[in-house]
Amino acid sequence: MKTNLYFRRVAVIGAGLTLFRRRMLETPQELAWEAVRKALDEAGLELKDIDCVVIGSAPDAFDGVHMKGEYLAHGSGGVRKMVSRVFVGGATGVMVPNTAWYHVASGLCEKVLAVAEEKMSPARPHPQSVFRYIWDPITEKPLNPNLIWIFAMEMHRYMYVNKITKEDIALVSVKNKKNALNNPYAQAAANITVDDVLKSEVLVWPVQLLDTSPVSDGAAAMVIVSEDVARRYTDTPVWIEGVGWTLDNTEWTGRELAYPRYLEHAARMAYKMAGIERPNKEIDVIEPYDPFDYKELHHIEGLMIARRGEAPKLLKEGVFDIDGDIPSSPSGGLLGVGNPIAAAGLMKTISIYWQLKGTAGRMQVKKPVHTGLAQAWGDLMQASTVIVMRN
Partner 1 sequence: MSWDKIGIEDKLLSWHEIMEAEEYVYTVGVAGEEFFNGLKHKKIIGGKCPKCGRIYVPARLYCEECFVKNDFVEVTTKPYIDTYTVVYKDDEGNKLEKPQVIALIRFEATHGGLLAYVEGEVNIGKEVEILEYKIPLIVRVK
- Which residues sit at the interface with partner 1, rule CB under 8 A? 19, 21-27, 29-30, 33, 36-37, 40, 46-47, 61, 64, 74-75, 77, 79, 121-125, 127, 129-130, 132-133, 217
Taking the complex as a whole, how short is the minimal distance between the CB of residue 68 and partner 1, in angstroms? 13
Taking the complex as a whole, how short is the minimal distance between the CB of residue 60 and partner 1, in angstroms? 9
Taking the complex as a whole, how short is the minimal distance between the CB of residue 95 and partner 1, in angstroms? 23
Peptide bond into 125 cis (omega under 30): yes
3-state secondary structure of 384: strand
Q: How far apart are CA 250 and CA 266, in angstroms?
A: 17
Taking the complex as a whole, how short is the minimal distance between the CB of residue 221 and partner 1, in angstroms? 11
Give the residue from 340, 266, 331 showing the smallest Cα distance to 303: 266
Nearer to partner 1, 132 or 281 (CB): 132
Nearer to partner 1, 33 or 158 (CB): 33
Taking the complex as a whole, how short is the minimal distance between the CB of residue 100 and partner 1, in angstroms? 18
Nearer to partner 1, 124 or 278 (CB): 124
Nearer to partner 1, 119 or 298 (CB): 119
Taking the complex as a whole, how short is the minimal distance between the CB of residue 34 and partner 1, in angstroms? 9
Instruction: Report the residue count for the chain.
Output: 391
Nearer to partner 1, 334 or 374 (CB): 334
Taking the complex as a whole, how short is the minimal distance between the CB of residue 265 and partner 1, in angstroms? 31
81-84 LR contacts (CB < 8 Å, sep 24+): 81/50, 81/51, 81/52, 81/53, 82/51, 82/52, 82/53, 82/109, 83/52, 83/53, 83/54, 83/55, 84/52, 84/53, 84/54, 84/55
* C-beta neighbour count of 307 within 10 angstroms: 11
Residue type, 184: P
Nearer to partner 1, 67 or 202 (CB): 67
Nearer to partner 1, 80 or 278 (CB): 80
Taking the complex as a whole, how short is the minimal distance between the CB of residue 330 and partner 1, in angstroms? 24
Nearer to partner 1, 343 or 369 (CB): 343
Q: Is 95:385 a contact under the CB 8 Å cutoff?
A: yes
Residue type, 107: G
Measure Cα distances from 92 to 85, 98, 164, 209, 242 in Å: 10, 10, 29, 24, 17
- Residue 315 makes CB contacts below 8 A (sequence gap 6+) with 168, 171, 172, 175, 297
Name the strand (E) or helix (H) holding 148. helix 147-162
Q: Is 245:385 a contact under the CB 8 Å cutoff?
A: yes
